[in-house]
Amino acid sequence: MIYKFKSKAAGDVIMLGPNGDQMLRLLGREPAPRGIFEPAAMPALVAAMEAAIAADEARRAESDDDDGALAARGVSLRQRLWPMIEMMRRAAAAGEPIVWGV
């Protein structure tokens, strides 16, 4: 499945199924083909994503062995969630919801 998150306040954000599922679980939601993030909830959702990013970066830093292994481990959680964080900030500022599967 592919997630296409939409809002009137920002361009669309597209995520592959496993990445979208991971993000939704980080936000305390079960993955679903349709849904909505309300503007009032977005600051807390952004904070939850930022906390998950900080934990991921700490975990990655602990396991880095100074020989470039960090770069070889692929895309970080920060890189995957950054577009959604930006979308949520813009949508919250504009008072617009974010929807998917609609």
CA–CA separation, 33 and 26 (whole Å): 16
Tokens at residue 60, please? 């990655």
pLDDT at residue 59, as a whole number: 87
Per residue, the 3-state secondary structure of 28-40, as one string, reads: CCCCCCCEEECHH
pLDDT at residue 18, as a whole number: 95
Tokens at residue 54, please? 């900080």
Instruction: Give the list of residues 6+ apart from residue 67 with CB closer than 8 angstroms, or none.
Output: none
pLDDT at residue 70, as a whole number: 55
Partners of 15 in beta bridges: 3
CA–CA separation, 4 and 64 (whole Å): 33
pLDDT at residue 89, as a whole number: 97
> For the chain, how long is the longest CA-to-CA vector?
46
Alpha helical stretches, state H, 27-76: 42-63, 69-72
Output the CA torsion 97→1→22→64 (10° steps). -130
Query: Domains in the chain: how many in total?
Result: 1
Domain region containing 73:
2-100
Mean pLDDT in order along the chain per 10 residues (102 residues): 96 96 96 97 97 92 64 81 98 98 90
